[in-house]
Amino acid sequence: MAHVEHAGDVRRRDRYGEVLVRCPGGLGVEVAAFHPFTEDPRFGLTGLPAGGLFQLLSGVGVQVADPIGRAANGESGPKRTTARSVTLSNEFLSSDRMGAMTDIRRPALLRLLAFAVAACIAILAVATAKADAATYCVNKNGPTCTIQYTSGQLQMALDQAASTGSVEDTVLVGPETENNSGTGFTYNTQTPGNEIHLIGSGSSQTTLTWTVTTGSTDGLLFSAPPGSTVNGLKILIPANDANQGDTGLWLGNGVDADNIAVTGPSADNVKGVDSRGGDVVDSTIDLPEGSSGNIGIDQSNNGNAIVNSSVHAVYAVRHSSTGEPTTVTGSRLSGLNGAIADNGAFVIKNSVITLSAGNGGVGVGIANYNAGNNDDMTASLDGVTIVGDGTSNNTSGIKAQADNGTETADLDVHNTVITGTSHPLNLITDGGRTVTASIEYSAFDNAAVNQMSGTGIINYSPGPGNIDLTGDPGFADAANHDFSLKADSPLIDTGDPVTAPGATDILGNRRDCNGTPGGTFRRDIGAYEYNDCTAPNTSIVGGPGATTQDPTPSFTLASDDGLATWLCSVDGSTPAACPSLYTAPDKGLGLHHLSVSARDQYGNVDQTPATYDYTVIVTKVPPPTCETDNTCPPPTCKTDKTLCPPKGDTTPPKVLKLKAPKKTKKKWVKVTFKSNEAKVIFTCKLNKKKAKRCKSPWKTPKLKKGKNVVRVWATDASGNKSGIKKRAIRRKK
């Protein structure tokens, strides 16, 4: 037989023919019978009438298979029944059903069929009791695959998944191009719990396209319950036959697209993605700027998010409903128009919008040109770079217009640079309507701002921190669409000084780091942050080892940044500046922990400090001091301020009544003296001998023969010193 076998297939064959009963994943029954001589590799029979072969009757479903494998209701692909028991009816042997089967014996076929179905039901009794989520694999093998489909059977797999009820299924598609010969692929069921995940092999390997573009067609209509996803594939939009507007990917509310690509080199009057509330993440939409106005992503119901994506079209992104806003984050929009809202709100952060050459282009626009519009339109921008081509006429960086019904237009712009457009701001109002523009910490040419108030009201006054940008914004390579900043850009460190914690730029670089050496922590204007946001790495390349006898060990610090300095902490103390040759403080005996972080010239600090554990096991004994051996002189006013008398005594004492013999034969004599102040300290000296403290009477050292001179002076408690009194003593020879 030419059939592809599956787990759960049950065959029964004899000389009169063959019956195949398929139990795909325990979720249903598919039946085929085969002529003994003219076997057909498809489900069904060769030579039988289109009316079908037989019926499977059960309490929950009926299947009638015709010769080309089409279900009785005309849908493509075999239908499944979740019956656990099947009752065969003899009606299938009626002449109108079996009249053409002259070469197959009916009783024999019935026996074959009964045997095969009975075996299948045994499988279903176990498998359907589980009713687990299934994985349908199209042109892809793998251990997770529940049911296999060949190339070209994607729609069959989607239909199968949609019929399972409240089961969350997955459809995996291998590297191939799935070309639907009709009007595109469809998954259209919102049954709660019936989420589906359609996963290709990558946007460069799995491609979906279709043939018939008459009318408004969808390459992939993905109307599924919230929580469903589609990712890892490319949708190729063919040339539009009817010019009635085709769509590459139609996303239902809460259905997200991740890592997809939508393109159509010959497409015109198309939408890359039509989002009814689904997010687009890490994706690329690239449509030509056709004459009918291609739209990259069109949001027309509920809010959605566009994250880390690149969108190019005549209208890169369009928002057309009230309620939740369209949020654009970390993305790049390009085309004649960037982000346009005719109702509701935009929130755009850390993104780049570039305008193609062409008159009348708008970077961000909130305007409704239909009469009688009564909705409010708002746009909030933070960290956005808007760049025009610099030559086209009547272009607007940001356009806000309110001149219909009761509509209003409100702008809230922060940290945004606008350059290369005719008007950085184009504010238009009439009919008593109001346009409000709050612009802070942004850079644009003030003189080029256009205000047309008519009979309306424009509330615009530049807020704090704006830069009058009349010259070069300092982009790294604007000609090649590199709008990061050069070192001399006037946008560096000039954004809002209050930066939200954890804020990042379009590349994910932190906003809370410096752009100029020694500068303050202040964000830049625009989508890109210029700085060395990467903190230096820290290492400790020298230390005392695991144990040391030194209570103040030394360490050698290093970093991969040659201009780095260090912050040191021992045992959890507050990090403080320290040199590359660092001596730790004495923390006593025991285990200690050193933590070191390098800090670069921009102030970025290593968030993963280098650490070093050491244990002080013996403290070195310091050399003896006068305190330890009791040899210190008594304290004085100079060494102990508590002994100092009150300030104001500046009168020196006097030495009085110094008496000593003028002549003597003795080797030693006594010298007496006194002072006019109490508590003075006397100092005595004989000849050139060392002066010593003394008291009256003072016994001199040994006198030399001949003339000797005694000198005495006094010092009071305030440190005032008296004059020196002298007496000569002659020792006779």
Query: Within 10 Å of residue 659's Cβ, how many Cβ atoms?
Result: 12
Greatest CA separation for the chain: 173
The mean pLDDT of 475-490, rounded to a whole number, is 94
3-state SS, one letter per residue, for 534-571: CCCCEEEEECCCCEECCCCCEEEEEECCCCCEEEEEEC
**pLDDT confidence bin for 122, thresholds 50/70/90:** very low
CA 203 to chain centre: 22
Confidence of residue 619 (pLDDT cuts 50, 70, 90): low
Q: What single-letter amino acid sits at 583? A: T
Cα–Cα dist 421/336, whole Å: 12
Does the pLDDT at position 57 exceed 80? Answer: no
Which amino acid makes up residue 66? D
Q: Mind listing the pLDDT tens digit for each residue in 555-606?
A: 999 999 999 999 999 999 999 999 999 999 999 999 999 999 999 887 888 9
The kind and range of the H/E element at 670 are strand 670-675
Distance between CA atoms of residues 333 and 340, nearest Å = 11
Could you give the CA distance from residue 7 to residue 531 in angstroms, rounded to a whole number?
A: 60
In order, the DSSP letters of 263-281 are E-TT--SEEEEEESS--EE
The better pLDDT of the pair 665, 81 is held by: 665
What pLDDT sits at residue 301? 81
Check residue 413 and give its pLDDT: 97
Which phi and psi angles does 218 have, rounded to 5°?
-125, 130
Tell me phi and psi for residue 478, to 5 degrees.
-60, -30
Partnered with residue 410 across adjacent β-strands are 378, 436
Q: Which of 50, 54, 265, 80 is nearest to 160 (CA)?
A: 80
Pairing mode, if any, of strands 663-664 and 725-731?
Answer: parallel
* pLDDT at residue 223 greater than cutoff 80: yes
CA-only gyration radius of the chain, Å:
47
Q: Is the pLDDT higher at 459 or at 112?
A: 459
Question: If you average pLDDT over residues 494-498, what whole number do you get?
Answer: 90
**CA distances, 325 to each of 8, 257, 485 (Å):** 50, 18, 30
Residue 360 has pLDDT above 50, yes or no: yes
What's the pLDDT band for 691 if we cut at 50, 70, 90? very high
CA dist 95 and 49 (Å) reads 12
Q: What is residue 504's DSSP assignment? A: B
How far is Cα 20 from Cα 43, in angstroms, rounded to an integer?
9
Percent of the chain with pLDDT over 90: 61
Show the tokens assigned to 724: 């020196």
* Chain centre to alpha carbon of residue 733: 106
Q: β-pairing, 17-22 with 30-34?
A: antiparallel
Q: How does residue 212 score in pLDDT terms, banded at 50, 70 and 90?
A: confident
In contact, 175 and 201? CB cutoff 8 Å: yes
The proportion of the chain whose per-residue pLDDT surpasses 70, expressed as a percent, equals 79
Q: What is the phi/psi pair of residue 156, to 5°? A: -60, -40
Residue 448 DSSP SS3: helix
Residue 80 clears pLDDT 80, i.e. is over it: no
Q: How far apart are CA 221 and CA 248, in angstroms?
A: 8
- DSSP helix/strand/coil, 121: helix
pLDDT at 61: 31
Q: How confident is the model at residue 23 (pLDDT cuts 50, 70, 90)?
A: very low
Beta bridge mates, 327: 305, 347
**243 has pLDDT over 50:** yes
Q: Are 303 and 275 in contact (CB under 8 A)?
A: no
Report the candidate in 480, 486, 594 with the shortest Cα–Cα distance to residue 531: 486
pLDDT digits (tens, 9 = 90+) for 318-348: 998 888 999 999 999 999 999 999 889 999 9
Mean pLDDT across the chain, nearest whole number?
Answer: 82
Token readout for 219 is: 């390459």
Q: What is the 3-state secondary structure (H, E, C) of 470-529?
A: CCCCCEEEHHHCEEEECCCCCCCCCCCCCCCCCCECCCCCECCCCCCCCCCCCCCCCCCC
The arithmetic mean of pLDDT across residues 629-642, rounded, is 75
Note the pLDDT of residue 22.
47
Q: How far is CA 382 from CA 328, 350, 412, 491, in A?
A: 11, 7, 8, 14
Q: Which residues pair with 706 in a beta bridge?
A: 731
Report CA-CA distances (Å) from 563 to 149, 515, 610. 61, 15, 17
Question: What is the C-alpha separation between 675 and 694, in angstroms, rounded?
Answer: 13
Report the distance separating Cα 474 and Cα 456, nearest Å: 37
337 sits in which H/E element? strand 337-355
Question: The tokens 């950085």 sit on which residue?
Answer: 424
**Of the candidates 247, 239, 336, which has an alpha carbon nearest to the alpha carbon of residue 299?**
247
Residue 643 pLDDT grade (very low, low, confident, very high; cuts 50, 70, 90): confident
Tokens representing 675 are 């002072």
Nearest to 11 by CA among 168, 116, 136, 127: 116
SS3 230: strand
Is 106 a residue whose pLDDT tops 60?
no
Query: Could you tell me which residue, 57 or 550, shows the higher pLDDT?
Result: 550
| DSSP classification of residue 641 | G
Q: Is the peptide bond before 697 cis (omega within 30 degrees of 0)?
A: yes
Q: How far is 54 from 31, CA to CA, in rounded Å?
A: 9
Residue 24 binned pLDDT confidence (cut-offs 50, 70, 90) = very low
Which H/E stretch holds residue 411?
strand 408-414
Point out the least confidently predicted range of 48-52, 107-111, 469-473, 538-542: 48-52
Alpha helices in 409-465 (DSSP H): none
CB 377 within 8 A of CB 407: yes
pLDDT in tens, 273-321: 999 999 999 999 999 987 678 999 999 888 899 999 999 999 999 998 8
Task: Please check the confidence at residue 671 and state whether its pLDDT lies above 80.
Answer: yes
Cα gap 349→364, rounded to integer Å: 12
d(CA 282, CA 714): 94
* Rounded-to-integer distance, Cα 387 and Cα 6, Å: 58
What's the confidence (pLDDT) of residue 114?
53
| Number of residues in the chain | 733
Q: What is the pTM of this model?
A: 0.64
pLDDT of residue 522: 85
Instruction: Give the pLDDT confidence of 127-158 residue by residue, as tens digits.
Output: 443 357 899 999 999 899 999 999 999 999 99
Residue among 465, 462, 454 nearest 490 (CA): 465
Q: Are strands 62-64 and 30-34 parallel, antiparallel or unpaired?
A: unpaired
What is the mean pLDDT of the segment spanning 393-407?
94
Q: What is the 3-state secondary structure (H, E, C) of 358-398?
A: CCCCEEEEECCCCCCCCCEEEEEEEEEEEECCCCCCCCEEE
168 has pLDDT over 70: yes
Task: Report which residue type is found at 353.
Answer: I
**pLDDT band (50, 70, 90) for residue 233:** very high
Residue of 287, 295, 246, 298 lying closest to 263 (CA atoms)? 287
Q: CB under 8 Å to 214, separation ≥6 — which residues? A: 183, 241, 242, 244
Q: How confident is the model at residue 84 (pLDDT cuts 50, 70, 90)?
A: very low
Q: Which residue would you say has higher pLDDT here, 692 or 94? A: 692
Dihedral angle sign, alpha carbons of residues 70, 75, 80, 81:
negative
Q: What is the DSSP letter of 481?
A: T
Give Cβ neighbours of residue 341 (< 8 Å, ≥ 6 apart): 318, 319, 320, 326, 365, 366, 377, 379
